[in-house]
Structure 1
Amino acid sequence: MMQQSANSEVVAVRGYKNFQVATLVALRIFIGWHFFYEGLAKLLNQYWTSAGYLADSQWWFKGLFLSIATSPSTLAVVDFLNVWGLILIGLGLMLGLFSRAATIAGIVLLALYWIVAPPFVGYTYAMPAEGSYLVVNKVLIELTALCVLLAFPTSRVFGLDRLVLDRLMFWKRNPEPTPQRQAHA
């Protein structure tokens, strides 16, 4: 059972056993590590680009992805956003800092990856897949795991969000006094 505040945001995981909370925290940290490492590997590889991946698209928005892949300036922006998005999403999830935003951003990014290269029958891609998939692949599984983390957040139990939210709540309860204006006669 989740305890909810007046604004309907989950403030703590209550009623769960330590093992359940630890498993959710581990899931958040491991997915965060995966995002962070993927971003870092791309950042450190001076030859990495998403051009081939985008140009290979065969499904929805195929034309859009191909136009991004063939426009050097647009591709540079997309590559920059992809690399730093992965790194920042990963850090947010690992540290439990702004983890709701990181989780939502991760879901959006993974949905885009899946839309670019869905594992459908009859679709073949230049880059070989790790295994044989039909509709459900590792991208979709990780996306679903992030949806679980969105539904059952743990960063307020184990993460920096707890410190940030405690600080914000303190400031909200104890606002700085405002100087009163004196009437000029």
Structure 2
Amino acid sequence: MVQQVRMTVLGREYTLDLSGKLTGYWLVFLRLLVGWWFLHEGLNKYATPGSFGAGWFLEKRGTIVSPVLNAFAGGTTEAAIDALVPLGELLIGVGLILGALTRTAAFFGAFMMFVFYFGSEHWRRGLVNGDLLGLVLFVTIIVFGAGRVWGIDSYLETTSTVRDRPWLRYLLG
């Protein structure tokens, strides 16, 4: 049995043939694994108040994105980021586990991993690390529309709201 993933990228339709049920199971496994990872990280930050502070990457010097991150260091912006990172991890984890707004959740997860990868100094010790692998996992979830396999997105895409507004498919899947 051959499964197909249909996606629209920049207005052009693409169809990717996937071989057998194994591919679908693998996508669900990746989505659940990454979802649990982020849900767990978010819950840990709430369970141990004060354990997370954004200052470690906002105040770095000499990284690729440090000029941008330094603008957010200190004051109310840093306090907002201290609150938004755990909340974002929690929402990304829930979205991936449920398969709801999967591409949106994965996009924000990829954004966070991009900032963590280029904002930290771990890449100086080697280009491949956990942050880069997390970024790759999120991009994989986006590309394959992993929410369409045993996720709420598979139901949402059949509704008239999404059929009448095809651009919503960019947020789902």
TM-score, scaled relative to structure 2: 0.78
Structure 1, unaligned runs of 5 or more: 122-132, 173-185
Length, aligned pairs only: 159
Is residue 65 of structure 2 the alignment partner of residue 72 of structure 1?
Answer: no
Is residue 28 of structure 2 the alignment partner of residue 25 of structure 1?
Answer: yes
Aligned counterparts of 1:61 and 1:41: Cα–Cα separation in 2 = 26
| Correspondent of 1:138 among 115, 124, 130 | 130
- Tell me which residue corresponds to 1:152: 144
Post-superposition shift, 1:14?
5.4
Q: Rate the CA distance shift 1:2–1:40 in 2: closer, same or farther, 3 A.
A: same
Identity %: 24
> Which deviates the most, 50-59 or 156-165?
50-59
Aligned counterparts of 1:44 and 1:81: Cα–Cα separation in 2 = 15
Give me the CA root mean square deviation.
2.7
- Tell me which residue corresponds to 2:120: 117
More strand by percentage = 2
Is residue 41 of structure 2 the alignment partner of residue 38 of structure 1?
Answer: yes
* Partners of 1:57 and 1:116 within 8 A in 2: no
* Partners of 2:27 and 2:149 within 8 A in 1: no
- The C-alpha deviation readout for 1:142-170, integer Å capped at 9, x for no partner, is 11111112111221221011122222358
TM-score, scaled relative to structure 1: 0.73
Structure 2 counterpart of 1:138, one-letter code:
G
Q: Larger Cα Rg: Structure 1 or Structure 2?
A: 1
More helix by percentage = 2
Structure 2 counterpart of 1:72, one-letter code:
G
* Partners of 1:31 and 1:90 within 8 A in 2: yes
- The C-alpha deviation readout for 1:5-58, integer Å capped at 9, x for no partner, is 8x7577x97543111211111011100111111111112222132223332453
Q: Rate the CA distance shift 1:171–1:110 in 2: closer, same or farther, 3 A.
A: closer
Structure 1 counterpart of 2:54, one-letter code:
S
Structure 2, unaligned runs of 5 or more: 165-173
Is residue 58 of structure 2 the alignment partner of residue 54 of structure 1?
Answer: yes
* Partners of 2:42 and 2:86 within 8 A in 1: yes
- The C-alpha deviation readout for 1:62-119, integer Å capped at 9, x for no partner, is 24434433x2311111112211111111111111000011111111110011111143
